[in-house]
Structure 1
Amino acid sequence: MAETSRRNKRRLRRPMSQINVVPFIDVMLVLLIIFMITAPMLQQGVEVDLPEAEAEALEAEQRAGEPIVLTVTAAGAMSLNQGPLVNEPLAGPQMIEIVQDLLAAQPGTQTFVRGDRHVDYGRVMDAMVALQRAGAGRVGLLTEPPPRDAN
C-alpha cells in the first residue's frame, strides 16, 4: 500500500506534457462567427443596377486621385463617392458645392455618373448638368458590360 501511494505522488509531480487545444478552438470559432456576422455590414456604397452597354472600356488617365462618381439611385436620390457626405443623399445645390470644392482641390479630376437602369433619363441628365455647373468639363457615364454568351 505504501508503494501505491508513492506511485500516485510521482504522477502528481510530473509536468503536464499535453496541450489542451479545446479552449483555443472555442476562441477561434467565436472569432469566426463574429467576422462572418460583421463582414456583410462593412459593405460601403450605394446599390445601383447599372445599364449594360457594348462599348470599349476607357483607359484610366494617369492622374493622381480617385475620380468623382455621382450615383443616381432608382429612387432618384443622388450621392457622391467623395467629400464630407460620402454615399449620403444630397440635394442639388449641396452636391454642386461639394463638387466645386473637390475640383478646386484637384483640378481636372475625372467625373462620372452612375445611373441606375430604372431611373428616368431626365434625372441622369439633371445629374450631368449639375456636375457641369460645378465645373466638371467632361462627364462620363458608367455602365456594365453585357453578359457574355457561353457558346
Structure 2
Amino acid sequence: MRGMGMMPQQRRKPMAEINVVPYIDVMLVLLVIFMVTAPMLTQGVKVDLPETTSDPIQHDKDVETITVSVDTNGAYYLEVGDQSGEPMTLSDIRSQVAKILSQRANGEVMVRGDEYVDYGVMVRLMAELQAAGATGIGLITDAPGDNP
C-alpha cells in the first residue's frame, strides 16, 4: 500500500563537497600573524656572542690586529698593531677600517669597550664596523680577577 496520500520518501545523496570557509579563515589569521612578526625578525646587528668559558682568541702574529676602543665618555680610538692615535669620530673609524680591510683578506676587528660605556654606543660602533666590511667582530674582555 503505497499511496494512501503519502508522498514517497526521497533519499538525499551524500554531499561530496568540502566546506573551505574555515580553512580560509585560518589562513588569513596566519597571514596577519606573519605580516606583524616578519619585520621584527630582520632588525639588529649580527653579533656572534662569546661564551664565558671560551679560550683566548688565537691570531696570526704576521697580521696586525685592528682594535677599536671606546672609553667611558664614548670617544673612539683606532689601534692598528702597536699604534694608537687620537680620539676619532664614528665616521672616521668607519672610513679608516674600510681602507685597512680593503687591503686584507682577514676582516676581523676587535672591540675594547669600557665597562661603563652605554650599550647604544657599542651597537652603533659594531654596525659601522660591519658596514666597513668587518666579517667578524670580537669583544676584548679581562679575565675574572684581573682587575683590582
TM-score (norm 2): 0.57
Show structure 1 runs of 5+ residues with no match.
1-52
Query: How well do the aligned residues superpose, as a CA RMSD in angstroms?
Result: 2.3
Question: 1 CA distance for matches of 2:123 and 2:136?
Answer: 13
**What is the SS of the residue equivalent to 2:84?**
coil
Question: 2 CA distance for matches of 1:75 and 1:57?
Answer: 30
Residue pair 2:74, 2:121 contacting (<8 A) in 1 also: yes
Q: Which has the higher strand share?
A: 2
**What is the SS of the residue equivalent to 1:94?**
helix
Structure-1 residue corresponding to 2:44: none
Deviation digits for residues 70-127 of structure 1 (CA, Å, limit 9, x no counterpart): 00000000010029x8331111111111001110122214211100001111111111
Q: Which has the higher helix share?
A: 1
Match of 2:56 among 40, 51, 58: 58
Match of 1:103 among 101, 104, 110: 101
Residue pair 2:107, 2:136 contacting (<8 A) in 1 also: no
Alignment of 1:81-92 (within 5 A): 81-82=79-80, 86-92=84-90
Residue pair 2:68, 2:76 contacting (<8 A) in 1 also: yes
Which structure: larger Rg?
A: 2
User: Identity across aligned pairs (percent)?
Assistant: 31
Question: 2 CA distance for matches of 1:61 and 1:119?
Answer: 26
Question: How far did 1:64 drift?
Answer: 2.9
TM-score (norm 1): 0.56
The structure showing larger relative contact order (alpha-carbon pairs under 8 Å, at least 6 residues apart) is 1
Residue pair 1:54, 1:145 contacting (<8 A) in 2 also: no
Residue pair 1:74, 1:116 contacting (<8 A) in 2 also: yes
**What is the SS of the residue equivalent to 2:127?**
helix
Show structure 2 runs of 5+ residues with no match.
1-50
